[in-house]
Amino acid sequence: MATSQPEIDRTAVETFQERVFEAALGTFTTYAIHLGSRLGYYDALAAEGPSTSVELAAATETSERYAREWLEQGAVAGLLTCENPGAAAAERRFALPPAHAAVLTDPESLDYLASLPRTVVGAVSIVGDVAEAYRTGEGIEFHEFGADLHEGQAALNRPLFVNELGTEWLPSLDGVDAALRAGGRVADVGCGHGWSAIGIARAYPDATVHGIDADEASVDRARENAAASDVGERLSFTHADAADVEGSYDLVTAFECVHDMSDPVSVLSSMHDLAAPDGTVLVMDERVDDSFAPDAGTVEAFMYGWSVFHCLPVSMVDDGVGTGTVMRAETLREYATEAGFSDVEVLPIENEFFRLYRLVR
């Protein structure tokens, strides 16, 4: 006898359909922002003011017809404004509102978020490989995600590192602040493109920072960024695993990278050994809830998005532990204990997306 199916709530169906539509619309907006940033459109509009498609194309050395379509899409999506929508297509003037310019054009401003769409584009760029990883259980090497993710992630953290890390966060840690002001040495494990090292060196004129990263392309970019900075002479970068580095440092850091590691215990153990007897080991990672909850909110959903497409696959390489983006405090505490630390202290530093931990030896 056939079992009758419960009647579907049509309002619930339509509400979810609308949600899927809005998600797709948001995807187009994400890619349009990335495209505009990549082509220099936002910088040109901020510098030149209201522009026609002809003027924007000339300023950026791009095609007028393509520039026109991008401008019109931006206006319809609410990213740009149009002064004279009734004019002929090539004569319409489009502007980037000042508030939007603050978010899209200054890479060292804490308001800057143009790098977020680029990072998202990079994360989903190899979705076919990600799907295969889900089938096989294999991991995906960090370098396979390409420049958009790597450059975008570095740019996403750059404002935080050059504005708050050395001027607010580290100064709040008495022992760390005193050591760095006295010319201390810092080992920055998983240094990426070097912005954390640059931020520390800028804030502490007598300190030296040694960046370490297992990704060769990231180390190359860190060296380029250091050379272009005003503190490059106090920075050095090494392409290596942390276990292969020797020395004694007043501060050993790992910023937003432990959750990506296939063997975090090994790396934390190396950090333990790199710290001087009175040195400090500092980890910054994602601020997530202490336990899983479906109603955890948008930040947790955001973190899970990164984990599904990037951080979990990266942390599964070489039969890795598979931490993923959502590394809860207790998980880090377990890794740290296994690595030889006696305790993990959650620091009273407020940030919507990140939590800082002092690993106690």
Is 25 inside a domain boundary?
yes
Which residue reads 């349009």 in tokens?
32
Do 24 and 132 share a domain, yes or no? no
Question: Which tokens go with 85?
Answer: 């929508």
Whether residues 124 and 70 fall in one domain: no
Residue 141 sits in the same domain as residue 257? yes
Q: Is there a contact between 312 and 324 (Cβ–Cβ < 8 Å)?
A: yes
E strand or H helix that includes residue 94: strand 94-95
The residue out of 64, 80, 104 marking a domain boundary is 104
pLDDT at 187 over 80: yes
Average pLDDT in the 83-106 region?
98
Q: Is 110 a domain residue?
A: no
Residues 100 and 163 in one domain: no
Please check whether residues 188 and 299 belong to one and the same domain.
Answer: yes
Q: Are residues 17 and 92 both part of a single domain?
A: yes
Domain count within the chain:
2
- For residues 87 and 164, membership in a common domain is answered with no
Indicate the burial class of 171 (C-beta count within 10 angstroms; 0-12, 13-18, 19 or more).
Answer: middle
| Tokens 């995807």 belong to residue | 27
d(Cα 361, Cα 272) in Å, to the nearest integer? 7
DSSP 8-state assignment for residue 230: S
Place of tokens 């980890």: 283
Give the pLDDT confidence of 256-283 residue by residue, as tens digits: 999 999 999 999 999 999 999 999 999 9
Domain edge (last residue) among 42, 75, 104: 104
Note whether 268 and 335 are within 8 A (CB).
yes
Share of the chain above pLDDT 90, in %: 97
State residue 206's pLDDT score: 97
Q: What is the pLDDT of residue 2?
A: 58
Burial (0-12, 13-18, 19+ Cβ within 10 Å), 295: exposed
Q: Measure Cα distances from 344 to 268, 333, 361 in Å.
A: 12, 6, 9
Are 128 and 191 in a shared domain? yes
Does residue 4 sit within a domain? no
DSSP H/E element including 220: helix 216-228
Same domain, 176 and 47: no
For range 33-37, the mean pLDDT: 98
Q: What single DSSP character describes residue 110? A: T
Q: 203 lies in a domain?
A: yes
Same domain? For 15 and 125 the reply is no
Tell me which residue range forms the domain holding 188. Answer: 119-360
Q: Are 326 and 307 in contact (CB under 8 A)?
A: yes
Average pLDDT over residues 207-233: 97
CATH number, domain containing residue 301: 3.40.50.150
pLDDT tens, residue by residue, 151-175: 999 999 999 999 999 999 999 998 9
| Residue 2 covered by a domain | no
Structure-token match 């209201």, residue found: 50
Co-location of 200 and 280 in the same domain: yes
**Does a structural domain hold residue 111?**
no
Domain finish residue from 43, 72, 104: 104
- Against a cut of 0.75, is the pTM above it? yes
> pLDDT at residue 1 above 80?
no
Question: What does the pLDDT average to over 115-136?
Answer: 97
Do the Cβ atoms of 269 and 340 come closer than 8 Å?
yes
Where would I find the H helices in 77-114? 98-104
Q: What is the number of residues in the chain?
A: 361
Question: Buried b / exposed e across 206-236, counting CB within 10 Å, b at 16+?
Answer: ebbbbbbbbbebbbebbbebbeebebbebbe
Q: Which DSSP string do the residues of 248-298 spell out, in sequence order?
A: -EEEEEEES-GGG-SSHHHHHHHHHHHEEEEEEEEEEEE---SS--TT--H
Q: Could you give the CA distance from residue 312 to residue 295 in angstroms, rounded to a whole number?
A: 21
| Residues 169, 288 within the same domain | yes
Measured on CA atoms in the order 68, 72, 77, 79, is the torsion positive or negative? positive
Count the Cβ atoms, other than its own, within 10 Å of residue 129.
14
Name residue, tokens 């169906």.
13
User: What CATH number has the domain bearing residue 78?
Assistant: 1.10.10.10
> Is residue 274, in this structure, part of any structural domain at all?
yes
Q: Is residue 5 part of a domain?
A: no
